[in-house]
Structure 1
């Protein structure tokens, strides 16, 4: 992995009187390449925590693969409930397209894991751009309804002392999953239908690459249901199932090759047509 050129804490907008910041990663040799594609890389953290600073490894790997990478922070729940995070990710993408950075504006994709995996599919719905989602959470209302016999509870893990790739690597935890989802809607179950991604995909949604471990924090039925919903409206998707309890970037080495192959194909399809 080579050392990218990194610009930290670039303002991309304001919301709720706060300045929104992103980091930019690029190859020092490609700063003037107007034909390169770009990725908006969205951190996870259950919508209630997380920071762009934890995406250095994946952002650098994406730069090595030929991408200009924008990594935004976004407003966090429960102080800022859905659609605040989604709107901030979209604002970051709009800012990138209006910026002076050299890249092909028709070749942008979104990549994220966990809550970031949810937000990138939300971005694919809104923009029609491709998305790579690792352990995204989509049927918020359905998960809450199906686990009503379990009381929501925060995790006992010391999240601040852990690497992102080490969080939630012990399999299903319905109590914590419920707690995380309820953070995104500020504890208001009436907000769940609006925040449920699965029911809002349309034929103009961008193609999606999904990855999930078979026995992880997010039930595998969730990405499978999203894939079914995408198929019903004619949107292409891939679902990679990984035999482990690892969550999101915990299976980076397993999911990255297929994700990069998907991005290369999806973004080539969006590039200007080459002469015959």
Structure 2
């Protein structure tokens, strides 16, 4: 496997917020290759935690597949509620396009899991770029409405002591899911409609690869509803359903092959029948 060249903590955007930093992963032999495609890789963490540093493994797989990879941090709830995270991911993508790094500006995609899976579909809606979303959370208002009989409570898991891929692997936890969603809107239920991704899909949304475990933390019905919305808008999508309770990067080995095949197709150069990179 190619050992990526990693550049850490590069400021993006025009502000001085300490969260506005990104890491760059690339093949050291292709730093001047303007034909390669780029991926904006967005970490998860329920919008309230997480860091770009946890994406080293997935970023390295993407470099091995031929991509230049930008991994941003973004402002977190509850201090920075929707749409702060979305604004930051879009700002990081714009910074990448304006940077001196060599890549094909016409071939950019977004990739993320969990809250990152939500943010990359938000980016696909805004930019029309392709997105790969693992265990994304989309219909925030619908999930809260459907679980109103359950109190919103934080998880009992020691998140700081766990690997990212091991978090929330025990199946449905409506109390924690509700708590996570309400954090993203600062507890303001009136903001849930605006923060819900599914109703805002349009015909200009980029194609989306969705993955979700059948019995995991995020209800599979949420991904299915997003796929229905994409289909109704005439937008291509794939939904991979993974057996078990694994969440997002917990099923990396099962979902990576299909995700890379989707990216290769979505980012293929118009004059190329092979790899996009």
Partner residue, 1:106: 106
- Match of residue 32 from structure 1: 32
Q: Please report how far the alpha carbon of residue 13 of structure 1 lies from its aligned counterpart in structure 2 after TM superposition.
A: 1.7
Q: 1:154-210 CA deviation, whole Å, 9 max, x = no partner?
A: 000000111100000000000000000000000000000000000000000000000
- What's the offset of the Cα at 1:19? 5.6
Q: Structure 1 residue 17: deviation in Å?
A: 4.7
Match of 1:11 in 2: 11
- 1:218-256: per-residue Cα shift (whole Å, max 9, x none)? 000000000000000100000000001000000000000
C-alpha deviation, 1:14, in angstroms? 4.4
Q: 2:19·2:74 contact (CA, 8 Å) conserved in 1? A: no
Aligned-pair distance for 1:108?
A: 0.3
Give, in whole Å, the separation in 2 of the partners of 1:161 and 1:91. 31
Once the two structures are superposed, the pairs formed by residues 11-160 of structure 1 within 5 Å of their partners are: 11-15=11-15, 17-18=17-18, 20-160=20-160
TM-score (norm 1): 0.97
Cα displacement (A) at 1:40? 0.2
SS of residue matched to 2:157: coil
Whether 1:255 aligns to 2:259 is no
Note the C-alpha offset of 1:18: 4.3
In 2, Cα distance between the equivalents of 1:239 and 1:16? 38
Which residue of structure 2 aligns with residue 208 of structure 1?
208
Q: Which has the larger displacement, 6-15 or 231-240? A: 6-15
Q: Which residue of 2 aligns with 1:226?
A: 226
Give, in angstroms, the shift of residue 3 of structure 1: 1.1
Structure 1 residue matching 2:13: 3-state secondary structure: strand
In structure 2, relative to structure 1, the CA distance for the partners of 1:49 and 1:144 (3 Å cut) is same
Partners in 1 of 2:92 and 2:150 — Cα distance? 37
Deviation at 1:2, TM superposition (A): 2.4
Q: Tell me, yes or no, if the aligned pair for 1:26 and 1:69 is still in contact at 8 Å.
A: yes
Q: Is the 8 A contact 2:19 2:73 kept in 1?
A: no
- Alpha-carbon distance in 1 for matches of 2:219, 2:14: 35
| Corresponding residue for residue 181 of structure 1 | 181
Change (3 A) 1:94 1:151: same
RMSD across aligned positions (CA): 1.2
How many residues are matched? 273
Could you tell me which runs of 5 or more consecutive residues in structure 1 were left unpaired when the two chains were aligned.
none
Q: Deviations over 1:99-129 (max 9, x none)?
A: 0000000000000000000000000000000
Q: Distance in 1 between matches of 2:243 and 2:73?
A: 31
Which residue is 2:171 aligned to?
A: 171
What's the TM-score, normalizing by structure 2?
0.97
